[in-house]
Amino acid sequence: MKIKRIEHVGVVVRDLEASRRLWEDCLGIPLGGLEHSPGRPHKLALYPVGESMVELLAGIEPDSKFARMCAEGKGGINHICFEVENIDEALAELKAKGIPLIDQVARIGHGGCRIAYLDPAGTENCLIELAELPAASSHA
């Protein structure tokens, strides 16, 4: 498996607009993009920092996963995402090494990336996402 870089760090926030003011106005990091996929109960903001990004995630419905996490005091850093060269090979290799997977096969995530999550039970309780960027990606 070839890990290319930290693609992003995911941060769960209560209020995306308030968080945008912090990241853009106070920290001076320009917004790289906003995403909301139809049918998904969350939206996200991406902030390029060097060759990586910070991904802010906010629930848009009170009973959504990220809104519930914030209500329970579990907002903040949520996961780390590694860009891999070939996600199918990476998943097969990790599975062969005994790492439990949340996603047995890759699915489509932000920006058209193919993504999959590893089970924190096998990663020292750290939620790890793997991402294979689209061939013509404009990511950092």
Q: How far is CA 138 from the centre of its chain?
A: 16
Q: What is the mean pLDDT of residues 88-92?
A: 98
How many degrees, rounded to 5, is the angle at CA 100 between CA 116 and CA 94? 70
Model pLDDT, residue 46: 97
CA-nearest of 53, 51, 73 to 10 is 53
Model pLDDT, residue 64: 93
Q: What is the mean pLDDT of residues 57-75?
A: 94
Model pLDDT, residue 107: 96
Read off the pLDDT band of 60 (50, 70, 90). Answer: very high
**Where do the domains of the chain lie?**
3-132
Read off the pLDDT band of 39 (50, 70, 90). Answer: confident
> Which CATH architecture is the domain 3-132 placed in?
Roll (3.10)
Tokens representing 80 are: 């780390």
* Weakest-pLDDT range from 1-5, 17-21, 108-112, 123-127: 108-112
